[in-house]
Amino acid sequence: MAAKGIQTRQNIITKALQLFCVKGYYHTSINDVLEATDLTKGGLYGHFSSKEDLWYAVYDQALRIWREVVFRGIQSSADPLERIQTLIENDIKKKLGDHIFEGGCFFHSMLVELSGQSVAMSSHLMQGFKQLAGLLCAWLEQAEQQGLLKENLKFDEIANYIIISLNGAAALYAPSRDTTILDQTVSQLHFYIQQLKK
């Protein structure tokens, strides 16, 4: 019995993730989710206490998926700068290009939509970006210790800028679906990181 419940709960999350990505959070109605899951109100609200509660579950799922996609083939490389390049390429080419999140990037879309609407949810998102910035920072420090970088670089600044570029690419790719944008961003970020080297 319990298995059935978990299964439907998971299905709700999966379908809601798709809808949130394509239509946005507010513009996805509970009825949209019900239609996608072949459920009714009572069935859904047995699993989630509110739409916002569902969103947090969807966020966790999205984070799990993103991590899987973006950290693929990263431990293999000892060079921290190469790890950064791979992460960037995975984020743009795989996350965006392969439409892991249909209709764009879940995190970026939610960040923009929820900023100014829900402090709780948007700061939840910001926390995730801060974690990523911390990771990039750590990798840059490793690169410095290996003597790969120019002097006097500000690592947190660089880390933030990379994240900003990734978000910008998501913003412009979503409406156009123009894959050259992805190639160009990867190419320019590659150039940018090369310039950090000694």
Partner DNA sequence: TGTTATAAAACGACCGGTTGGTATGTATAA
Partner DNA sequence: TTATACATACCAACCGGTCGTTTTATAACA
Binding stretches for DNA (CB under 7 A): 1-6, 8, 26, 28-32, 38-43, 45-47, 49-52
190 binds a copy of itself (CB under 8 A): no
Out of DNA, a copy of itself, none, which partner does residue 47 contact, by CB within 5 to 8 A per kind? DNA
- Identify what 30 binds: DNA, a copy of itself, none; CB under 5 to 8 Å per kind: DNA
Characterise 115 by phi-psi region: left (phi > 0), alpha (psi -120 to 50), beta (else). beta
Does 123 help bind a copy of itself (rule: CB under 8 A)? yes
Member of 29, 35, 187, 197 binding a copy of itself (CB under 8 A): 187
Q: Judged by CB under 8 A, does residue 109 bind a copy of itself?
A: yes
Closest CA to 157 of 140, 143, 171, 182: 140
| Residue 168, binding choice from DNA, a copy of itself, none, Cβ under 5 to 8 Å by partner class | a copy of itself
Count of other CB atoms within 10 angstroms of residue 107: 22
Q: Which listed range, 6-14, 41-49, 82-90, 162-170, lies at the site for a copy of itself (CB under 8 A)?
A: 162-170
Chain CA centroid to CA 5, Å: 28
Q: What angle do CA 117, 121, 123 make, to 5 degrees?
A: 100
Q: Which residue has the tokens 């798709």?
A: 18
Instruction: Find all residues with CB under 8 Å of 180, minimum gap 6, and list them.
Output: none
Residues 6 or more apart whose Cβ sits within 8 Å of residue 90? 69, 70, 71, 72, 73, 74
Which is closer to a copy of itself, CB of 8 or CB of 115?
115
- 58 part of the interface to a copy of itself, by CB under 8 A: no
81 binds, among DNA, a copy of itself, none (CB under 5 to 8 A by kind): none
Task: Report, in Å, the least distance between residue 194 CB and a copy of itself.
Answer: 9
DSSP-assigned states of every residue in 126-172: HHHHHHHHHHHHHHHHHHHHTT-B-TT--HHHHHHHHHHHHHHHHHH
For a copy of itself, the binding residues (CB under 8 A) are: 22-24, 26-27, 103-104, 108-109, 111-117, 122-123, 125-126, 129, 154, 156-158, 160-161, 163-169, 171-172, 174-176, 181, 184-185, 187-189, 191-192, 195
